[in-house]
Copies of this chain bind each other. A is one copy, B any other.
């Protein structure tokens, strides 16, 4: 029997998934296993798979099949209609950027990334500036084309790639609230904590002991080690594909908490992937719902669940056993204070959850001004340093700890930064609903029972995959549109009361 246009599309997107999932494993391999000298060759492999994927999605055949499938939705189940929408979304995104621009952008960002590494090492922005300029021009060009095709503002079109359905209007509203409340909240938190300085942890903790404890925690949370791995790499990430999830972290021998929290953060990502519906696997509707949702899952687990007293009550004896330690610095209350310290600091990735959004607000503002041409690249360092001082009261001594600290702009990821802070805000809102529907949550976590937590997340977030937009997903899960209110309540409760 002949396949319907929709069925043919499913076939085409399964092929796409094969390319992408191969690429995903190869990227994991690059970071964890690959010998250094093979990176150029690996780059070519990945570029070839990328080109293949792009030409598949933008093929006339796919466009034709989409038109025909959309013209007759009869007989399609809801998830299939949602799948069709995601296919269309993907095709429209991909086709809006001509192949010529895609490859110019690929080359420019490859060059810019290399120069960024050098400039950061030497803390010399001038080495990077012309390359960032080139990337910004091309991204602006792409944003214009994408915006026209999707009928969105150029910046919103970029946002839509990372967090489908989110607009800068929504983000503005949330960030304005945060921008108003955070300066005083940060000061209040610091003042509150000043009365109870934690004891520092000292000693050496072997990577193998840290890995053993991390593995134990992951198992307890339900990470399927028969369908996933934990490895080490320079930058922690969650890679692989659903069904074969590869987490990485970095263990610091003098600081066992950071590596562990890194693992728990990635486990949050991983559990999202684990919870995606198996029957939608390989189809666009079966993927996660973008970066903000991903970040909400990692932050919810790391920040809201694990950097909290009930979890630390559970973890304390495990740590004592794993490292053969005891003493006042290992008491729950001290661990809690160590893991929730608020500090005015310069580096985003090391920031605590209270000051973190300030780092994002700064970048969100700057990247929009760059794209609009309101901020000249050469003026970026000064703008960064001045506003960092204004907003957080600290000023970078050099560009390495200022505007050169992140790779995102070098690789063309404008519109990505907001998803970190929006992810936190989503986590706060989900957490509030979760707690009200599951009042026994704290007791469960303290007993090392994570089933209830993940059941709720699976039912309200994971199992929906990409079948609804980011805002709809949040409304469905929490009964409210996204706002900063719940997150602020959570932060105030955690940091202003000790």
Contact = CB atoms under 8 A, between A and B. Distances in A.
A255 interface: no
A14 interface: yes
A229 B35 CA distance: 7
A18 B52 contact: yes
Contact of A35 (B25, B42, B225): B225
Interface in A214-258: 224-229, 241, 243-244
Contact of A52 (B15, B21, B23, B25): B15
Q: Indicate how many identical chains form the complex.
A: 2
A45 B36 CA distance: 26
Nearest to A37: B226
Contacts of A229: 33, 35
Contacts of A227: 35, 37-38
A-side interface size class: 20 to 34
A146 interface: no
Interface of A: 14-15, 17-18, 21-23, 25-26, 29, 33-38, 41-42, 44-45, 48-49, 52, 224-229, 241, 243-244
B18 A49 contact: yes
A241 B41 contact: yes
A71 to B, nearest CB: 28
A279 to B, nearest CB: 14
Nearest to A229: B35
30 contacts: A14-B48, A15-B52, A18-B44, A18-B45, A18-B48, A18-B49, A18-B52, A22-B22, A22-B26, A22-B49, A25-B25, A25-B26, A25-B29, A33-B33, A34-B244, A35-B224, A35-B225, A35-B227, A35-B228, A36-B226, A37-B224, A37-B226, A37-B227, A38-B226, A38-B227, A38-B228, A38-B243, A38-B244, A41-B243, A41-B244
A25 B34 CA distance: 10
A226 to B, nearest CB: 3
Nearest to A14: B48
A277 to B, nearest CB: 15
Given A15-B52, A52-B15, A22 B45 contact: yes
A26 B227 CA distance: 15
A230 to B, nearest CB: 10
A339 B18 CA distance: 45
